[in-house]
Amino acid sequence: MKLYIPKDYRPRLVPETMEQAIKLLKTSFQEELAAKLGLRRVTAPLFVFSGTGINDDLNGTEKAVSFSITDMGGAKAEVIHSLAKWKRMKLGAYKIPVGYGLYTDMNAIRADEELSNIHSLYVDQWDWERTVSAEQRNLDFLKSIVEKIYDALKETEKKIYAIYPHITPVLPEKITFIQAEDLLKEYPKLSVKEREREAAKKYGAIFIIGIGGKLANGEKHDGRAPDYDDWTTESAPGYKGLNGDIVLWNEILDNAFEISSMGIRVDKTALTKQLDLEGCPERKELSWHKALLEDKIPLSIGGGIGQSRLCMFFLRCAHIGEVQSSLWSEEMIEKCREAGIILK
């Protein structure tokens, strides 16, 4: 997906009201999320030292924006991609017990993104992490957390409707859980994105389970770095992966709309296995990975929830540039303007 122009698109809110709605939405959702998951807010870094293994590799191909620190003898730092591993360190540092966790406003630069209606160079999301016990590392627990997040989405949708009644609710009562392997069986001739689109349109809100490992056709549903989500542990007979994506049906874009990537994080066994599978066992020598293998980092579940994507969805916007400031090509700006889509 590059640039998609919805037919006869009209913004639901004028620019001044849009800013007020964004503030309301962000405040409401993070309060709901924190209450339902037992999270407290912390302050997050914008950059970390290179070579420590703390930064996330996402699909394993993206390059982090980096720079040298003059006052530290030229030490290298890099802008974060996300905070999956950093958050686990903080759970331990703050001694947060099982059943509780933290969340933060994560801001990142992803220079390799292909810009589109939903992809920007600037990434803003709520990164959250919660301490779990070894017994909670299972599919039922993962589903229970997804349902709590979905409840927070539903409550936020109600608040938006109460204030802006012309933006009517669209989320179904329940979220549907689907294994990535079953999606492949149901739509064997479709691409990954086409499978997601069909399922999201059918159910309205889905959680796709098991993303990162190879499916029966030898391909991955999507890429995942080997050192944060657990995508190798058996979740049910014939299925692997304790992670997934929350995907909604977006009527404005006529497409599936991912708003969260999340999962139970790797333990020592899963980390070792996944590093070997991805051909990077040398990462076990990095400081973060060593700490995990030495039981110095707690077991956890966590994820990221896109702030601008959530605003896009609930305020019925056609482009992420309507709810955040970033950089866009002149061609994209002009095409959007002609369609009544004003980018910030």
Query: Is the distance from CB of 21 to CB of 164 less than 8 angstroms?
Result: yes
Chain mean position to CA 84: 10
Q: How far apart are CA 293 and CA 288, in angstroms?
A: 9
Interstrand relation of 101-109 and 39-41 (parallel, antiparallel or unpaired): parallel
Phi (first) and psi of residue 295, to 5 degrees: 60, 30
Residue 239's CB is within 10 A of a number of other CB atoms, namely 15
Report the chain's terminal Cα–Cα distance, integer Å: 21
- Please report, for residues 132, 163, 179, 260, 318, the alpha-carbon distance to residue 100 in angstroms, rounded to integers and kept in the order given: 8, 32, 27, 20, 36
How far, CA to CA in Å, does 26 sit from each of 156, 192, 312? 9, 30, 12
Catalytic residues: 56, 110, 125, 245, 258, 261
The tokens for 276 are 């070997």
Report which of 45, 112, 123 is spatially closest to residue 85, judged by C-alpha positions.
45
Instruction: For residue 118, give the nearest of 304, 302, 263, 328 by alpha carbon.
Output: 328
CA angle 105, 322, 196 (to 5 degrees): 75
